[in-house]
Amino acid sequence: MALRFDGHGWLRMEALTHYEVAENRLLLAGYDDRGRMNVALHLGKEPFPE
């Protein structure tokens, strides 16, 4: 998957295996065959709580 940011370049992620859509946000993650997270991306209009 790749996202293009106008005038700022690209963000590219490989090996995504899971996603979740909830409350106007998108959570993407990729896990290896041992269950370890390799990549994650959270997108939303509002900041995520800490």
Domains of the chain by residue range = 16-50
Is residue 40 a contact partner of residue 17, using CB atoms and an 8 Å limit?
no
What is the per-residue pLDDT for 39?
94
pLDDT of residue 49: 76
pTM over 0.85: no
18 DSSP assignment: E
| Residue (of 5, 25, 3, 4) closest to 16 by Cα position | 3
For the cut 80, the answer to whether the pLDDT of residue 48 exceeds it is: no
Would you say 22 and 28 are in contact if contact means Cβ atoms under 8 Å apart? no
Task: State the residue for tokens 């106008």.
Answer: 6
Q: Quick check: 27 and 16 in contact, CB under 8 A? A: no
The pLDDT tens digits for 1-43 are: 898 988 889 999 999 999 999 888 999 999 999 999 999 999 9
